[in-house]
Chains A and B, each alone.
Chain A
Amino acid sequence: MVEGVSKMGETTNSNLLQGVTGDWEVVVGMEIHAQVQSKAKLFSGASTEFGAEPNANVSLVDAAMPGMLPVINAYCVEQAVRTGLGLKAKINLRSIFDRKNYFYPDLPQGYQISQFKDPIVGEGEVIVDMPDGISFTVGIERLHLEQDAGKSIHDLHPSKSYVDLNRSGIALMEIVSKPDIRSSEQAAAYLRKVRAIVRYLGTCDGNMEQGSMRADVNVSVRRPGDPLGTRCEMKNINSMRFVQQAIDYEAMRQIEIIEAGGTIDQETRLFDSRNGETRTMRSKEEAHDYRYFPDPDLLPLEFDQAWVDEIAAGLPELPDDKKARFISDLGLSPYDASVLVSEKARAEFFEEVAAGRDAKLAANWVTGEFFGALNKSGLGIDETPISAGQLGALVDLISDDTISGKIAKQVFEIMFETSEDPAKIVEDKGLKQVTDTGAIEAAIDEIIAANPDKVAEYKEKPKMFGWFVGQVMKATQGKANPKAVNDILKAKLDG
């Protein structure tokens, strides 16, 4: 199977949206905010642990006490470099921290330390596989390090707000894409791919519910081939589904406005997940002037290529490489391979099942029965009732002819329900395959003797062979080794 890789910006017709006056193309760029996996904050030693009591993880620096100074956490820098390498991006050996100035109660310093003109990571690219087997590439504009703000809580007091600074100062990586995304599905797939990459790297846990990963989505529409339209930005979207909903809603809103003769105002909009709509947050005129300037408390961030090379040498295998290896070394289909590598946990589960076994058979079981069952029961792979070792043992039972593939499906269902080992289930239920050719032969003889008409029919229509197989399996309660049944039956009928 040859996969199509579209060039950046190129589009396939299926992505176009239908307006009243014709087709429209949606253009999406994303800024993903990924919390750096690190024990301490970006510029202080305070803990980053999720779920602590409000204001428990706050140092003097995080609270912006007078005279406090930031000191860069080297591990966060290493994580950003690792992520940049994972995004196949240029690592900048010299970058600058800037102050982004604005007033907000959960921003204690009155500025966020970020990187504006000189980010730590430059251009890169991410290859995204779509479910139809088509891949496309999203260009990465940059990745920079910045501090997270605290959290304002407005519903604990009738007239006042509370502020929790636990998040204040936690390291974020802002991953900025080029406007290379052409549909809401592509946007979700891109986000999923970036999440997979950071999870493989161990640089962000990708947990969107806890806010470890969130996205600002820029959406504009245009007639195919036209220059880019005016964009609107939707801030802080925290699930894949919401990203898709927000883009779908926003694209149609813009199309309707333009088709009605209106123009789009560049603005920041809020996505309301309750009704799936977006609404104005602030217009371009109300946009903040952040007065960026280099933070004089911090020296330029400088490191050498040798250090980057050392990090590169220690990178784990990433989804694209793993996929290529699954195809070339394990003989998997590109589709199976891409499904398996799409999440780190999936790939790890599969590799454990496949270890020392028939990889294709293992892949069939993992992507087929196993993912199907998880999906049906609404479980994540981390909540699986059966372990990779157990599924591997099931594959072993098939490979050594203890049970047939068909019986294995029964066994799997019981395993999934009871979490029992397959060998025990086979034993308890007496599902062991009959490989005793004598017993099979006897059953066949009996069936041939009882159905002379069918035997005659078979001579005319060789397709009748299947009927005989069915009868034999029925007589043996499905436990007969199918290959043995085939061989003996063929010999008897043709002989």
Chain B
Amino acid sequence: MTEFTKLTMAEARDGLKAKDFTSVELTEAHVSAMEAARVLNCFVTETAERALMQAQKSDEKLQSGTGGPMEGLPLAIKDLFCTDGVQTTASSHILEGFVPRYESTVSSNLWRDGAVMLGKTNLDEFAMGSSNETSYFGNVINPYRRPGDETPLVPGGSSGGSSAAVAARLALGATGTDTGGSIRQPAAFTGIVGIKPTYGRCSRWGIVAFASSLDQAGPMTRTVQDAAIMLGSMAGYDPKDSTSVDRPVPDYEKALTGDVKGLKIGVPKEYRVDGMPSEIEALWQRGIDWLKDAGAEIVDISLPHTKYALPAYYIVAPAEASSNLARYDGVKYGLRHDGKDIVEMYEQTRAAGFGAEVQRRVMIGTYVLSAGYYDAYYLKAQKVRSLIAGDFKSVFEKVDAILTPTTPSAAFGAGEKSDDPLSMYLNDVFTVTGNLAGLPGISVPAGVDGQGLPLGLQVVGKPFDEEMVLRVADVIEKAAGPQAAPQEWWKA
């Protein structure tokens, strides 16, 4: 049984097509793995029964040769995607028990193509966090541990349930969403691949909104090829999302040529931040060398406004969030705590329903949009955003892709940063720029730190050039060689 969970998505797909095994077998193996790994707390809601029913239907289609591109492949869905008939919580108490009667466009696309849903994965509450410690449903535990140390490590966030589930071989892949790094950072922390596509590539319809101008869905998988397969299914124009872009979805798998000869890869000097651990420096240099060896040309570039990205992000994202989360007011659905009047009901409901980090960001967002502060904060942050986009635009006239580390460190211990929001926010320092500029970025496993914990490299591309990003990442993945899977200590 266990061998089924060791397959990559591509291998599983090909095996199903060749009728070497069935989707039911594949799905049962993943359901068992999911149930055996509850200590990791990857899932808010498990949907084993539904998974097996979907698997049976998939087997019928596979049998008759009418299966879709994702037919019979068991996936985990971040609990930020609304799923018809299945509780959708955003890992918040305020939405506990909320069962949508509609399906997000991205998950609909996956079901259209035949995928199977194992369950809904845990995340930082409303996707606000970098460690999956803000979830109302408890921390997610990283399947990786420091050698000889049982300290639970964080899986990154906000897509921490998805990253841990994929890393622990509980699902072939998972959906994530990335507002400031929420796909790429947890992917790096758990030794998997995560791509945040160009803003507008995947529909946001039916995804619980955090920061609308930054949110973007993407796949989290164990290989670059798997990411290419899954992105092809998730992406596409959706008239229900005014910010989604109407352009054809290429065959991303075909982009993995293994050839980067002659490509120009930019290395931005501003990403060498103060106090960056030497092993991150070393990782970055290894990535540079691999690409150079593969025939790419390394170009030193400058993205001068990088240092303003994090502050700008932590104005724009909370501003939008403060407005997006106003609908959780106890009136229509979700939690309600009664009060003596409507204002008290709002206050009680939101005080009880939102955790500390969400409350912090709603307050920051409300503040920066307030009369008298709007120009100094929100408007200025938007100007910074244009400057950052401008930096990338001019650099991309000279290079094909940009290489950076994904995060400034490997996974840290649970609780190590939760009392210090600023140091927590620094996790996003290399990833937020991609969200602010709307660019595609991928994190690909590229080695380990001194304690054997996974580290990721990030490749950033031009708008809608996911193909380039995948192509470069594929070459890095091959050069880095096989990465050690986590010890399955949770099974003991």
Contact = CB atoms under 8 A, between A and B. Distances in A.
Contact of B332 (A63, A289, A298): A63
Interface string A64-77: 11111111100000
Q: Chain A interface secondary structure, helix, strand, loop or mixed?
A: loop
A429 interface: no
A110 interface: yes
Interface string B323-357: 10111010111000000001000100000000000
B82 A108 contact: no
Contact of B243 (A68, A103, A110, A299): A299
Interface stretch (B60-68, B164-172, B363-371): B363-371
Interface centre among A105, A292, A293 (most CB of B within 10 A): A293
B326 A67 contact: no
Nearest to A70: B242
Contact of B327 (A110, A291, A292, A293): A110
B204 interface: yes
Given A66-B88, A289-B371, A291-B366, A111 B323 contact: yes
Nearest to B367: A291
Nearest to B81: A67
Interface in A147-173: 161, 163
A60 B207 CA distance: 13
Nearest to A64: B327
B90 A66 contact: yes
Contact of B239 (A65, A70, A71, A103): A71
A101 interface: yes
Interface in B133-174: none
Contact of B331 (A67, A70, A163): A163
A109 interface: yes
A425 to B, nearest CB: 61
Contacts of B98: 66
Interface stretch (B208-216, B294-302, B483-491): B208-216
Q: Chain B interface secondary structure, helix, strand, loop or mixed?
A: loop
Interface in B302-335: 319-320, 322-323, 325-327, 329, 331-333
Contact of A293 (B81, B329, B333, B378): B378
A111 B320 CA distance: 12
Given A66-B82, A66-B208, A105-B342, A71 B329 contact: no
Contacts of B268: none
Given A69-B240, A71-B242, A99 B208 contact: no
B102 interface: yes
A111 B209 contact: no
Interface string A41-83: 0000000000000000000100111111111100000000000
A378 interface: no
A110 B329 contact: yes
A105 B346 CA distance: 10
B100 A65 contact: yes
B95 interface: yes
B45 interface: no
A297 interface: yes
Contact of B205 (A68, A289, A293): A68
B418 interface: no
Nearest to B326: A110
A356 interface: no
Given A103-B326, A109-B326, A69 B204 contact: yes
A71 B241 CA distance: 7
B8 interface: no
A67 B100 CA distance: 10
B241 A101 contact: no
Contact of A297 (B95, B242, B331, B346): B242
Contacts of B90: 66
B104 A103 contact: no
B212 A297 contact: yes
A108 B102 contact: no
B332 A108 contact: yes
A135 to B, nearest CB: 40
A146 to B, nearest CB: 16
A69 to B, nearest CB: 5
Contacts of A297: 209, 212, 242-243
A293 B365 CA distance: 11
Given A103-B346, A163-B331, A293-B323, A65 B242 contact: no
Contacts of A161: 342
A296 interface: yes
A206 B371 CA distance: 35
Contacts of A63: 332
Contacts of A163: 331
Nearest to B102: A60
A69 B102 CA distance: 13
A293 B319 CA distance: 9
14 contacts: A65-B82, A65-B333, A67-B100, A69-B242, A70-B242, A71-B239, A72-B242, A99-B323, A103-B326, A103-B329, A110-B326, A110-B327, A293-B369, A297-B242
Interface of A: 60, 63-72, 99, 101, 103, 105, 108-111, 161, 163, 289, 291-293, 296-299
Given A67-B206, A111-B323, 10 more contacts: A63-B332, A65-B100, A66-B82, A67-B100, A67-B204, A70-B242, A71-B239, A105-B329, A296-B320, A297-B209
Closest 8 pairs between A and B when the two form their complex, measured CB to CB: A110-B326, A296-B213, A291-B369, A296-B212, A67-B206, A64-B327, A66-B208, A67-B82
